[in-house]
Structure 1
Amino acid sequence: MQNFRNKVVVITGAGSGIGRELARQLAREGAIFVLNDWNQDSLMAIWEELPEAARGYMEAFDVGDRQAVEGFAGAARKALGRIDVVFNNAGLTQQITPVIYGTIEDYEKILQVNLWGVIYGSLAFLPHLREHGDGCLVNISSVFGLMGCPGQAPYCVSKFGVRGFTETLRVEMRGTGLQVVCVHPGGIKTNIARHALVSNETDHERFVTRFDKLAKTTASQAAEIIISGIKRGKSRITIGSDARLIDKITRLMPESYERILQRSLDRAKFLRPR
């Protein structure tokens, strides 16, 4: 996809972070938007910021709700007559929690948003994206869809799942005209850590502080990289020097990169009984 002028663009999780910046930047290119966020106030803030001509349709709901996603897709198509681009961007994480201390509920909550939300969104919008032979589907995975990260098992499971689903779909859609893109951001300065699932407030504050120190790329820079990658026809986009480094390490040392991670792992914290 070379340009976005008059293209109908769907963005989930548009109320903050990368989703909000995608809306801001694509508005300058003349896109018309279908926006979602779970937070009504955040969604209204970006909606009112957009030029009136760019406001197509919006709806606040949790993308982990299958019926809501399917209804959203149908309502958007009915309101605007076509769908050209879909960004399945909404996501959720948790504070650092070793696997042995995690709960089934942690996995269920995170997979419902991060993985099922992407699957619901992809399947609901695929028929509309394929109508004109030049649609684009963009699913946001993570650098943790490239490597396992201690303390983030549910998040890693969800993002590896997004990667597997998207890469499979990309192979199946090859030659159909539908551009399928998987995005792997590294540390991005967003509010995802502040909205993480929390079991202990003190640990959560440490998690947020550590995340903010490691997040070197702004959401604006991330959106710019994604848009540029789409225009250049890329099917796999890594964002940030950290993501590019991890991508190389996991490709070159798929069985031994764990030793690098272990150097910074507090094994006493991860393995001591509670």
Structure 2
Amino acid sequence: MKKTAFITGATSGIGKATAINFALNGINLVLCGRRQERLDVLKEELSKEVNVHTLNFDIRDKDSVQKAISSLPKDFAKIDILINNAGNAHGLDTIQEGSIDDWDAMLDINVKGLLYVSKALIPQMVERKSGHIINIGSTAGKEVYPKGNVYCASKHAVDAINQGMRIDLNPFGIRVGAVNPGLVETEFSNVRFKGDENRAENVYKGFEPLKPEDIAEIIHFVVTRPYHVNIADLVVMPTAQASSTIVNKS
């Protein structure tokens, strides 16, 4: 039987690329996001390949998360693969100049949202003693860079949750791993810099960044390993990047 994957943040970037990759490889999809029009377009496109269901909710709202997941029709209710992808960065400020609203947005989405979705879906995996969870982290969860304070903290939390989740779910045969990308050219910087396109574009100038499709291919590789293989923690950067602050730009 075909597997079903549940992908958060599926309307753009890594989430969208992963949805397309999975569809082309015969994995049925539950696609989640806040932008219904994008979900509709993606569903129409990918339904030519596999069965697709969409859920429109705000991952920060635990009641909405639970209500949306509880509404899944029977054909989509059994989730084999969970891709905790939804996340964002808001602002790039020193700790003393940072915006509390920005801090709340990052912690609510990157940490609490991941937990809300996981809490709603893990029980069925525990009951079946099967499932695979991929948490999308960041190189920011492995180091801290100037003005990255709270964003880095949120991704360090994802790293810790990934490790704790793997320990807690080990008795049930559930695989848990993280993929931690470096610089990937997505809408990430547009969001971080609040629509300042010039500033966002400069992040990726002078070198070849990763593409969302690169990460999607890696995620597909991870979830298609034999059952006895669990890729627990993977860091990937473009060749030009050595760390969060060292990038070889021409």
Does the CA contact (< 8 Å) of 2:93 and 2:147 recur in 1? Answer: yes
2:133 aligns to what?
137
Task: Tell me how far apart the structure 2 counterparts of residues 32 and 57 of structure 1 sit (CA, whole Å).
Answer: 9
2:34 aligns to what?
38
Q: How far is 1:130 from its partner?
A: 2.5
Q: 1:147 to 1:53 in 2, by over 3 A?
A: same
SS of 1:188 mapped into structure 2: coil
Q: How far is 1:133 from its partner?
A: 2.1
2:218 aligns to what?
225
Rg larger in 1 or in 2?
1
Q: How far is 1:210 from its partner?
A: 2.8
Task: Tell me how far apart the structure 2 counterparts of residues 215 and 69 of structure 1 sit (CA, whole Å).
Answer: 36
Q: Given the alignment of the two structures, is residue 67 of structure 1 paired with residue 60 of structure 2, yes or no?
A: no
Q: Which amino acid aligns with 1:95?
A: G
1:105 aligns to what?
101
SS of 2:190 mapped into structure 1: coil
SS of 2:71 mapped into structure 1: helix
Q: How many residues align?
A: 241
1:129-168, aligned counterparts within 5 Å? 129-168=125-164
Ranges in structure 1 where 5+ consecutive residues have no aligned partner: 247-259, 263-274
Task: Tell me how far apart the structure 2 counterparts of residues 240 and 77 of structure 1 sit (CA, whole Å).
Answer: 38
SS of 2:192 mapped into structure 1: coil
Q: Which amino acid aligns with 2:33?
A: D
Does the CA contact (< 8 Å) of 1:188 and 1:216 recur in 2? Answer: yes
Q: Which amino acid aligns with 1:236?
A: D
Report sequence identity in percent.
28
Does the CA contact (< 8 Å) of 2:90 and 2:103 recur in 1? Answer: no
Does the CA contact (< 8 Å) of 2:193 and 2:199 recur in 1? Answer: no
Residue of 169, 194, 202 corresponding to 1:173: 169
| TM-score, length-scaled by structure 2 | 0.87
Range that drifts further, 133-142 or 228-237: 228-237
Q: 1:112 to 1:226 in 2, by over 3 A?
A: same
Task: Tell me how far apart the structure 1 counterparts of residues 100 and 78 of structure 2 sit (CA, whole Å).
Answer: 39
Name the structure where helix makes up a greater proportion of residues. Answer: 1
Does the CA contact (< 8 Å) of 2:8 and 2:83 recur in 1? Answer: yes
Task: Tell me how far apart the structure 2 counterparts of residues 77 and 125 of structure 1 sit (CA, whole Å).
Answer: 14
